Amino acid sequence: MAAMEIPPRSHGAGGFLVRLLGYYLLVTIVLVVLVRLFPGFAEMLSIDFEAASGGGFGREALRPPSVLSPAISPTLNTVLVVALALVGGLIFAIPVAWTYTETKRDEGFDKSIVQLIIMLPLAVGGVVLLVRGELALAFALAGIVAAVRFRTTFKDVKDAVFAFVVIGIGLASGMQALLLAEVFSLVFCLVVLALWYFEVGAVRSDVVQSTGPMTLSQALTPGDAERPILVGDPVLMAPLSDDELEAARERVSRLEHYVRADALRDKQKYKHLLLVYATDAEEAEERIEDLLEQYAKRWRLVETVEGRSGIHVLEYLVRFKKSAEVGELLDRLHREDEELIRAIELKSMKGRVAGSADDVWWSARPGPARPTRQHA
């Protein structure tokens, strides 16, 4: 199967930024047209903070335009005010959802978070329109929400920030401050794109980070503090020298791309890195995969390289069965044929591995992909 290459980040970022700015420009033009059609609509574009500062944000401070246009009835006026406020929250939440999916495409994103980003401003805007400065009603609503006990968890702290932002957009739209909602949405999207494009705070996949000596499995999973399980010859698994760490950089990058590809899966993602030190690669591969059939749900042989003293190192990404006795697997691999399999490293990749897509193979460098074997 032909390999798929991860496109450089700069290729997609420029086009996405143009589309994003074009979207906001189009929305601004629509707002200008609405002001021309409905003169009272201008009151929905901003909050009079100066007028509200004296007595707080009460009913008077949040009062919607009484008449969008003299040509429409009071009932239709109310319907349009509410509809424009709610639709405004939705319109400015959509680019936030786009930004979320674009910046999370490498590691994979949660579909429920995308839907949350789009739906939440509608709910928040509707609640704000309902409460409208009434303290008693606000307390009653808080009690109802506490009784229902909405709960959610976020795997990534940045996902929670997206949720907070769309809550703010919903509040602004519910307060009939659509200009505030637009500026809030635009500035947030631009900041997130800049952080993503320049990889601010990211751990480079080709740089090994450690405060002390590392084994090969630790070097191949930078940024993960989990300690590996070591079985067998300690000389083969001794901490790497500076030269060996330098030589491992390309392998780190290649493994990272497999991890990113695996993030596209919804379920059954790889969770462990298995390194097997063997005297004969082909014979060891057959032996290892016979046992993985019993203990693992899926696995992938990423590559086989030459290690110390002419020993071959087979690198596997593995998803074990829930019922699997991993210690038993390691014992059988090593003790049943110690002359063939000299040592084993098993490294949990919690926080690094999210999962990969079946039939999606990524290469770490442009050009022909290295052949790999996988079992799904």
Question: Which ranges in the chain belong to alpha helices (H)?
Answer: 9-37, 49-52, 74-103, 111-131, 135-148, 157-174, 178-197, 216-219, 242-247, 249-262, 281-295, 326-335
Taking the C-alpha atoms of residue 203 and residue 147, their distance in angstroms, rounded to an integer, is 42
- Provide mean pLDDT across the span 353-360: 34
Using one digit for the tens of pLDDT, what is the confidence trace for 165-221? Answer: 998 998 888 888 888 899 999 999 999 999 888 877 554 443 334 445 778 887 777
Taking the C-alpha atoms of residue 374 and residue 261, their distance in angstroms, rounded to an integer, is 13
pLDDT band at 246 (very low <50, low <70, confident <90, very high): confident
Q: How many Cβ atoms from other residues are within 10 Å of residue 10's Cβ?
A: 8
CA distances from 257 to 162, 227, 366 (A): 26, 22, 12
274 has pLDDT over 80: yes
More confident residue, 371 or 185: 185
319 has pLDDT over 60: yes
Taking the C-alpha atoms of residue 322 and residue 239, their distance in angstroms, rounded to an integer, is 31
Amino acid 293 reads E
Q: Which position has the token pair 């959509």?
A: 94
Using one digit for the tens of pLDDT, what is the confidence trace for 219-236? Answer: 777 666 678 889 888 888
pLDDT at 225: 65
Give the 3-state secondary structure of residue 347: strand
pLDDT band at 159 (very low <50, low <70, confident <90, very high): confident
Q: Dig out the tokens for 48 from the structure.
A: 């009079």
Helices 74-103 and 111-131 pack at an angle, to 10 degrees, of: 150
Please give the angle made by the CA atoms of 369, 215 and 251, to the nearest 5 degrees: 15
pLDDT band at 7 (very low <50, low <70, confident <90, very high): very low
* Of residues 303, 271, 309, 312, the one with CA closest to residue 369: 303
Using one digit for the tens of pLDDT, what is the confidence trace for 17-51? Answer: 999 999 999 999 998 888 888 777 777 776 554 54
Name the average pLDDT for the chain. Answer: 75
- The residue length of the chain stands at 376
The percent of residues in the chain predicted with pLDDT above 70, rounded, is 67
357 has pLDDT over 50: no
DSSP string computed for 93-124: HHHHHHHHHHHTTTT---HHHHHHHHHHHHHH
The answer to whether the beta carbons of residues 230 and 343 sit under 8 Å apart is yes
Using one digit for the tens of pLDDT, what is the confidence trace for 288-318? Answer: 999 999 999 888 888 888 888 889 999 998 9
pLDDT band at 147 (very low <50, low <70, confident <90, very high): low
Using one digit for the tens of pLDDT, what is the confidence trace for 334-356? Answer: 888 888 999 999 988 765 544 33
Cα–chain center distance at 335: 41
pLDDT at 20: 93
- Provide mean pLDDT across the span 105-112: 74
Using one digit for the tens of pLDDT, what is the confidence trace for 53-104? Answer: 444 444 444 444 445 666 677 777 778 778 888 898 999 999 999 999 988 8
Q: Dig out the tokens for 29 from the structure.
A: 């033009």
- Fill in the DSSP letter of residue 35: H
